């Protein structure tokens, strides 16, 4: 069994409670469910791959708290294009707020805080960086897989039209997210979830 650094259940509940107060103010019918589903997938990834649950589970809860600090909830329609407008702002505000939260909780080392804050800041765009080595960027790959699987879970409420979901598949999932799936669990689960999207057209790369 691969080594896992566990996140204490009491500490996890504290982080979850705080994160939910922000997530409830973000994208309606999405952010809360997405965060909880993503955490479920992160725990499965940790069982299979090992890793630091204190960092990875905490970061997964906090990934999208930044949307609750933007005005996205006031938009008449919140689709793929609308979300793109707020992505950079949510990353900046979310990472800044995550640092405040973690320092107030006062149960994380300086190194853990820096890594969690970094993951919150880069999680939606880190694929634009030049370094994509699994061992070097292990936490980034794990976050990308859990975050993406949480988006595609069939139990998730849908606030995208079929056209916008297809746009997300074509313009973000296939070119950017899918190539970053490196774990066996993640790749198998991704295909399983995508195969349940009967209304969408999925064209897998040859090597996937």
pLDDT in tens, 9-58: 999 999 999 999 999 998 888 899 999 999 999 999 999 999 999 999 99
The answer on pLDDT for 121 being more than 80 is yes
Is 203 a member of any domain? no
Tokens 């909880």 belong to residue: 36
- Please report, rounded to a whole number, the percentage of residues in the chain having pLDDT higher than 90: 60
Supply the pLDDT for residue 196. 87
Q: Which residues pair with 4 in a beta bridge?
A: 51
Round the average pLDDT of the chain to a whole number and report it. 90
Indicate yes or no: pTM above 0.75: yes
* Domain span including residue 28: 4-195
Supply the pLDDT for residue 1. 53
Supply the pLDDT for residue 131. 64
pLDDT digits (tens, 9 = 90+) for 84-113: 778 888 899 999 999 999 999 999 999 999
Is 132 a member of any domain? yes
Is 201 a member of any domain? no
Is 129 a member of any domain? yes
The answer on pLDDT for 7 being more than 80 is yes
The answer on pLDDT for 65 being more than 70 is yes
Give, in degrees to the nearest 5, the angle at Cα 39 between 75 and 98: 60
Angle (deg, nearest 10), helices 110-122 and 53-62: 40
CATH classification of the domain holding 70: 1.10.3210.10
Is 109 a member of any domain? yes
Report the pLDDT averaged over residues 174-192.
93
Report the pLDDT averaged over residues 160-189.
90
Report the pLDDT averaged over residues 61-74.
89
Is 39 a member of any domain? yes
pLDDT digits (tens, 9 = 90+) for 128-143: 776 678 888 999 999 9
Tell me if 23 sits within 8 A of 31, measured CB to CB: yes
Tell me if 151 sits within 8 A of 172, measured CB to CB: no
Is 78 a member of any domain? yes
Total domains in the chain come to 1
Is 206 a member of any domain? no
């Amino acid at each position: 069994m691969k080594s896992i650094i566990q996140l204490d259940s009491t500490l996890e509940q504290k982080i979850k409670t705080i994160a939910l107060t922000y997530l409830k103010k973000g994208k309606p019918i999405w952010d809360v469910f997405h965060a909880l589903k993503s955490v479920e997938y992160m725990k499965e990834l940790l069982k299979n791959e090992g890793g630091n649950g204190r960092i990875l589970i905490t970061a997964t809860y906090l990934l999208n708290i930044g949307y609750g600090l933007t005005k996205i909830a006031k938009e008449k329609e919140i689709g793929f294009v609308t979300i793109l407008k707020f992505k950079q702002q949510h990353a900046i505000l979310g990472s800044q707020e995550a640092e405040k939260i973690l320092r107030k909780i006062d149960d994380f080392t300086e190194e853990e805080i820096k890594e969690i804050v970094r993951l919150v800041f880069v999680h939606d765009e880190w694929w634009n960086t030049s370094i994509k080595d699994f061992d070097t960027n292990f936490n980034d790959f794990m976050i990308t897989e859990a975050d993406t699987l949480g988006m595609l879970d069939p139990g998730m409420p849908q606030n995208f039209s079929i056209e916008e979901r297809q746009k997300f598949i074509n313009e973000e999932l296939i070119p950017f997210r899918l190539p970053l799936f490196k774990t066996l669990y993640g790749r198998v689960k991704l295909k399983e979830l995508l195969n349940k999207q009967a209304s969408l057209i999925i064209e897998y790369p040859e090597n996937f």
